[in-house]
Structure 1
Amino acid sequence: MLHFIIANELQNLFYIMSSALLHLILAPHFIYKEKYLNLFFSLILGGFILLYWNFADIDPLIYSLQLVPVCLLFVTLGVGIAPSIMTWIIFNFGCMFVLNYYWEPALLSSTFMLMLGILVRNRVANADLKVKLLYATGILIIYELLYAPLAPYVLAPFSLYTGLVLALAFISLWIMISLLFFINKYEIQRTHITHLEKNRMLAELSATVSHEIRNPLTSTRGFLQLLARSDLTLPDRKRYVDHALSGVDQAITLLTDFLNYAKPSLDMKEQLDIKAELDHTIRFITPYAHDFQITIDVSHACETPLYILGESQKLRQCLLNLIKNAIESMPNGGKLSLRTCKHPSAVQVSIIDTGVGMTNKQLNSLGKPFYTTKQHGTGLGLVVVMSLIKKMNGKISFTSNLNCGTQCSIIFQQY
């Protein structure tokens, strides 16, 4: 007898929990509108109940005293109002047309339970587990007390079998309410973590924007300072103005790229001469290097153009970041060497400084977000550079010796 009741109860739990979990966890990943979620739940629950009606050995007592109230109360308190109404319709349909056995008591009692559950739903939504169990137990007791006088076969005679059905109804309800509580708790924690992750990414993006825009603005400031000199010729003054405007344009372009970061777009790749791009960057960064009393030595291994496939603005952004980092690693002055050379199927750019250098531990940490060797750096600039170079089918590597300097090597596929 006990084995039969437990088997039926486990089967009931499987059907209703499967419907609820699919509705609460799986469905929201591909169904976004509430009305479609409710329709999905009704279809799933209806399918499971049809299986139950067709293949299960249905006991009217278990169906009316256990399955109907437990499932309806669980859905009302834990899933939603619309799904609870659908559950009420489906189970009472079963009482009327499938069991055809004392359907009036189940209809009246379940209707009262549905109304009472909807009334207390908001009150227990954010309550702790004990309060939820207390409310659920109280409503189930009211259902059973309403149902029993209307269905004489429950009380006359009141057997051990009936008592076990009622006891397992309460146990099943407690299990389902507890499980739902922990599922919702997990979902709340997951949502909170997702919110924190979004805020963290927003903070990183904001820091990256400020870091990347600071580079062209710093060089622009250098050109504007040079314009204050009284011994400048008109061609030099015009050239410095052009460079300053170019820096402002680059800052605007960077800002636009970051503002459009969430909108995917096709890469506008083109054939680029790495030597020409390097020369353009050198002209732009030279005033900044003079502020640090640094001499720049440029050497090209071959006279012919070295073509790669990439985006001019992104390539210049990478070169500007790397050269600026090399300059800032020589606070007491030094020499910055820029080299280009050709390999059988690749093009290499080398940036060599005579700065403070790095330890092996620092080298291994390069490219990690928020890791920096600068006092006021964010560690995001190099992350962006490495990502951009990778998008242009390039590889970047670093070698360094403490107090001797650092060499940065970038290898692109030749186009």
Structure 2
Amino acid sequence: MAPKYAPDVRSRLAPLLLFLQTGFIILYYFSTEIESNVDGIIFSNFYPVFQDLNVMVFLGFGFLSSFLVRYGFSASGFSFLIAVMATQWALILNGIESWYYSGKIKLSLRSLGVAEMCTASVLISIGAVQGKTNHVQLILMALLEVFGFVLNEWLLQTLLSARNTHCIMVLHIFGAFFGLVLTWILYRKESEQGFEKEKLDRKAGLFSMLGTVFLWMFWPSFNSVLVDDHFPERKLRSVCSTYLALAVSAVASLAVSALSSPEGKVHPANFQSCIFAGGVAVGVSMSVIRYPWEAMTIGLTAAAVSTTGFRYLKVVINVFMCQFIISLPYTILCFPNQSHMLFAFECHDTCSVLSTHGLPGLLGWLTHLLLQIKQSDDHTTAIRFAVFHICVLLITITVSLTMGIITGVLLKWDIWRPPQDKKCFDDQAFWMFEHLAVRK
């Protein structure tokens, strides 16, 4: 007897996956080849870093979202599925320029690493809609967001002649804003009272802490992967700065969490979400960090902002989209004891991507701007960089919001059969568990 709980798994997910995977195989057959001129030294140096990225993308982000007691398997399983699909798609989109000039997309360890970093932006956005969407919606979201991220990268390189590192390191800001506008469009009235199955427990929290630790451990590789190997001092500076910022943010997030708690105790979800805020902020600003104390100060500030935002902030966004994309107006209000970011204008952020990635990313952007101006030799250079840096942010947020709106409108159609409110945050809607099966 076919399961009546979620018939869309067989009738919708399986055909979509087979269709997409067959399409990818055909595209790879006609347009890709593995790079032949490989330097053995570069390969041996880059492969460990590539493995670090794999741990972050496939293990860290997956387990990080498994804190929900009845949605842990879906959080980790769907994250893995989305990551492998998005990486294949990102390899194709990132190689379009190579295909245009040479007729083939060259695959290398570096291109795989860049594709996985594009995928990281998708995994950030998924946190905002976690538990309220089905697998088909998540796959479509991943394909559209990867396209938007690559489009943003192309615009930055074409209009501003930005380096690849500039384009990649805005992924936290891109992913956070994409996820926020998407969850605003897909908002459910049930979130005002709280979903019945959106609950935490200690065992699920331990698995989530495992993902947090893996992300924390491998974040230096994430920030330094695109630094040119011909400048080992820059790569070492990136690794050291990231590690110091992460260490300070771990200490500061625990302290601020305890200070902001009425009971004087550490909130586990608060601590886990904000422990790598320093890594996010330094990742955006690492090219201008010169001294260890700068990285440590950034880590302290990022953790304080992230932890305070996780616990208190409730952001009211003026979502008249034409005005929003042009002038980006917003107002910030404070409300005590919020377990997650709940936006006015109906926005429910499951994993608090604003506090975890958005606010630290914006702080890193501001730090980059201030430090670069301070290090400039003359006013003309400082003004030029300020204009360039502001344009990078405006283009990134504009593309992110635009693609988020398009994706949200598409995913809101009933043909995707989104889960009912009473079946949100429930693994049983998608997975077979023998011990829970009804016997006749």
Higher strand fraction (1 or 2): 1
TM-score in terms of structure 1 length: 0.23
Specify which structure has the bigger relative contact order, considering alpha-carbon pairs within 8 angstroms and separated by 6 or more residues: 2
